[in-house]
Structure 1
Amino acid sequence: MDRLAGKTAIITGGGSGIGLASAKRFIAEGAFVYIFGRRQDVLDGALATLGDQARAVRGSVDDLGDLDRLYATVQAERGTLDIVMANAGTGSFAPLGQITSEQYDQTFDVNVKGLLFTVQQALPLMQAGGSIILTGSTTGVMGTPQFSIYSASKAAVRNLARSWAQDLRGTGIRVNVLSPGPTRTDLALSVVGEAAFEEMGATTPAGRLGEPAETAAAAAFLASADSSFMTGSEMFVDGGMAQI
């Protein structure tokens, strides 16, 4: 299947987890992919598995200079951009009463500010037929104990997509949210703990954790013309967790 043949994509947080799985899927469907992340060792490891249809740029989404450098690289090497997957994110647990200003700033700087400028700075390189995918979360529509700041940041992502779909009227550029449920990534396992995370997966109607490749398959659909009549919407890949 070559639904993305000739397309150029950027995936932030593309060195591991859902971002890396999506990069693999996009490449398998014909795209050239730029992965963007903070850790050089993670990027190098990802490139070793992605091959010559991928390029890595190091930087942080909450640093506008790093984003400028990313898009300058894409423009110089590819000219235009077809797909943006704003996937970089962070979060940590803290109940109300123990939330710190530093935790709030870190979460919203990456999950909201970083996502905003990842998208906004991409727009000059995009044209009709382009697809913007924002990584949300089931937590954006659920109450989650000790996880309110992360959850609120993902609720903001959902509203940004609704508003940006209006802003992008007439451009031919679509924007949608892809919201995973409990998915087996190194980050999630480290934040939640493996035993607790497996238990969470068992509570879903599907009875298990999701795999990054399952979310990546949905990302490829949203990136392709197969989803051409979708914008401003949210697609859940959550084993039914937030649906019942």
Structure 2
Amino acid sequence: MPATTATTTAAAALKHQPKYEGKNVVITGGSSGLGLATAQLLVDEGARVLITGRDRAALDAAREQLGPNAVAVRSDASSLPEIDALADRVKAEFGTVDALFANAGVNGFAPFEATTEELFDQVLTVNAKGPYFTVQKLAPLLAEGSGVVLTTSVANVLGLPALSAYAASKAAVRSMTRGLARELLPRGIRVNAVSPGPIDSGILEKTMPADVAARTKAQMAADNPMLRMGTPAEIARAVAFLAFDATFTTGTELAVDGGGSQL
């Protein structure tokens, strides 16, 4: 083989080396939407990923989609016993973890006057209590230099109608991002948050009639400075950046919202 051909072949092999090969990642709420898109990106780049969710059928479908480098575990992010069990499973599967995306959450669309105690408790438990104790229970498994990413929302800085409880839960996550970043810093663990804006993740179609979802999406796109909704893949790239590449960044919140919270 001529020297130039060998050099070209070696360069091509180096260029296509999977970026996250050998990395172990845990993603809660990874069976659909933003979590699944992030899992797909990381698996495609060589990582081993453990995803969680509450729906067994959705988990099985996600596991089949992601392939042999993925593990799907049924786990309820609002239940401390299940979070404890998850930590045991992660330890058995991976030993140590290089990145944690604490993404599991629920929406809570309801006008202020119609928000019930049950809805308020559900939203705050899943969206705030869940990620807090997920990080706490998995922290002993996080390797030095690892990254934690929490999911907030532009709702934590914007006064959006029918989302007051949801916004409060995400504001709590924004605050805990700073607190956990400070407390985990001595162990060399970074903690940051990704703040999605209007993302076409399929959640609207699951929670609204089809015609209402279509009108809502059209309005969200029209109201955005970029005149469109974002995609789960765009969130996934931001999460991967915060988890692995933003090595001098901790305690911050990255808005991925088409400028909606900034312009």
Q: TM-score, normalised by structure 1?
A: 0.96
- Would you say 1:53 and 2:63 are equivalent positions? no
Matched, 1:238 2:257: yes
Find the counterpart in structure 2 of residue 158 from structure 1: 174
Matches within 5 A, 1:22-171: 22-171=38-187
Structure showing greater Rg: 2
Q: More displaced, 129-138 or 25-34?
A: 25-34
1:183-214 CA distance string (max 9 Å, x none):
11122343462321221122111111111011
Structure 1 position 94, deviation (Å): 1.7
2:4 is aligned to none
Aligned to 2:29: 13
Q: Residue 74 of structure 1: CA displacement?
A: 1.5
Unmatched segments (≥5 aa) in structure 2? 1-16
Partner of 2:238: 218
> 2:95, 2:185 → 1: CA distance?
23
CA distance in 1: counterparts of 2:42 and 2:188, whole angstroms: 21
Contact 1:189–1:197, Cα closer than 8 Å, also in 2: no
CA contact 1:62–1:109 (8 Å) conserved in 2: yes
CA distance in 1, matches of 2:220, 2:161: 13
Given candidates 200, 203, 207, the residue that maps to 2:223 is: 203
Cα displacement string for residues 40-60 of structure 1 (whole angstroms, at most 9, x for unaligned residues): 000011011100010000010
The amino acid of 1:144's aligned partner reads L
Q: Is the 8 A contact 1:92 1:191 kept in 2?
A: no
- Post-superposition, which runs of at least 4 consecutive aligned residues in structure 1 deviate over 4 A? none
Q: Give structure 1 stretches of 5+ with no counterpart.
A: none
Match of 2:46, as an amino acid? G
Query: SS of 1:76's equivalent?
Result: helix
**Cα contact 1:129–1:172 (8 A) shared by 2:** yes
User: Cα distance, 1:38 vs. partner?
Assistant: 0.2
**C-alpha contact 1:92 1:150 (8 A) present in aligned 2:** yes
Residue 7 (structure 2) aligns with: none
More helix by share: 2
Q: Once the two structures are aligned, what percentage of the paired residues are identical?
A: 45
Let me know the Cα RMSD of the aligned residues. 1.2
- Cα deviation, 1:57-104, whole Å, max 9, x if unaligned, reads 001011112112212112112211111101111122222222100000
Deviations 1:151-185 (A, max 9, x none): 11111110001111111121110000001111111
CA distance in 1, matches of 2:207, 2:154: 16
> What is the Cα deviation at residue 116 of structure 1?
0.7
Q: Quote the Cα distance in structure 2 between the aligned partners of 1:90 and 1:205.
A: 26
C-alpha separation in 2, matches of 1:228 and 1:175: 11
Aligned-residue offset at 1:29: 2.0
* Whole-angstrom distance in 2 between the partners of 1:114 and 1:205: 32
Name the SS for the 1:128 alignment partner.
strand
In 2, Cα distance between equivalents of 1:35 and 1:105? 25
CA displacement at 1:242 relative to structure 2: 0.6
Q: Distance in 1 between matches of 2:43 and 2:34?
A: 14
**1:4: how far off?**
2.0
